[in-house]
Amino acid sequence: MDAKRNISMRCAAFLFITLFCLASCSGNHSYSPKPRGYYRIIFPKKEYQPYTGGCPIMFDYPKYAKIEPDRNPDAKPCWMNIQFTQFNGTLHLSYEPIRSKKEFDKLVEDAHKLSFKHTVKATGIDAGVISYPEQKVYGIYYTIDGNAASSVQFFLTDSTKNYIRGALYFNTEPRLDSIQPVLSFVKQDVNVMIKSFRWK
């Protein structure tokens, strides 16, 4: 009799545990993944200094950036890089003297082509006119939206003797959602540089 009671109690306990497990597994438990997290970025104070090197250009650039000559074997004199080391980004600047209208037209066309080369991954490209007649600084500012390798490109010229092209790149996989805060911060510096630009 005791053996039968023990067996019954074991069966009842097993049945109870099984039903409890099934009940806890049932129900509408939906899983939603958490959004991707990124490191908090501490931005430096906005402070600027003048570039007055040996090239025929002058502009203000941030104190937390450094200017280096372009070390590419194909680089020409007065090609330089503004390094945003903290943000792993570089603003490439390529200066060209203008010797003829044909050469000027080609430089402008090349700037357009190089900017629109990013249309494969860009969701949109806006071109804005730069015009500071009192400084004889004119050009086009290209804002490239989406996961393109470069989000900002521009060129500046006095239309007769001088031309410079700029392209901002970050040395990381182009993910707009992750670099957006840094991009917005550095774009302010690019705007300061353009507004302060002068020809020597």
What per-residue confidence (pLDDT) applies to 18?
59
Tell whether the model's pLDDT for residue 35 goes beyond 60.
no
What per-residue confidence (pLDDT) applies to 29?
53
Sheet with 150-157: list strands edge to edge.
66-69, 79-84, 89-97, 162-170, 150-157, 137-146, 122-132
CA separation (Å) from 197 to 48, 57, 81, 113, 177? 13, 7, 16, 24, 30
Contacts of residue 94, Cβ cutoff 8 Å, sequence gap at least 6: 70, 76, 79, 164, 165, 166
Q: Would you kindly state where each structural domain of the chain is located, as residue ranges?
A: 48-199
| Average confidence score pLDDT of the chain | 83
Structure tokens at 175: 């993910």
What CATH number belongs to 48-199?
3.40.1000
Give 4 or 82, the one with higher predicted confidence.
Answer: 82
What per-residue confidence (pLDDT) applies to 30?
56
**Distance spanning both ends of the chain, measured CA to CA:** 110
Tell whether the model's pLDDT for residue 33 goes beyond 70.
no
| pTM reported for the whole predicted model | 0.76
Q: Which residue has 């917005």 as its token pair?
A: 184
- Ranges 45-59, 115-129, 133-147: which has the least confidence: 115-129
Reported as a pLDDT band with limits 50, 70 and 90, residue 147 is confident
Q: Give the whole-number percent of the chain exceeding pLDDT 90.
A: 58
What per-residue confidence (pLDDT) applies to 145?
78
Task: For residue range 41-86, list pLDDT tens digits in order.
Answer: 789 999 999 998 999 999 999 999 999 999 999 999 999 999 999 9
Structure tokens at 71: 């070390």
What per-residue confidence (pLDDT) applies to 186?
95
What per-residue confidence (pLDDT) applies to 49?
97
Backbone dihedral angles phi then psi of residue 23, each to the nearest 5 degrees: -65, -40
Task: For residue range 92-118, list pLDDT tens digits in order.
Answer: 999 999 999 999 999 999 998 887 765
CA separation (Å) from 82 to 70, 132, 190? 10, 23, 10
What per-residue confidence (pLDDT) applies to 8?
59
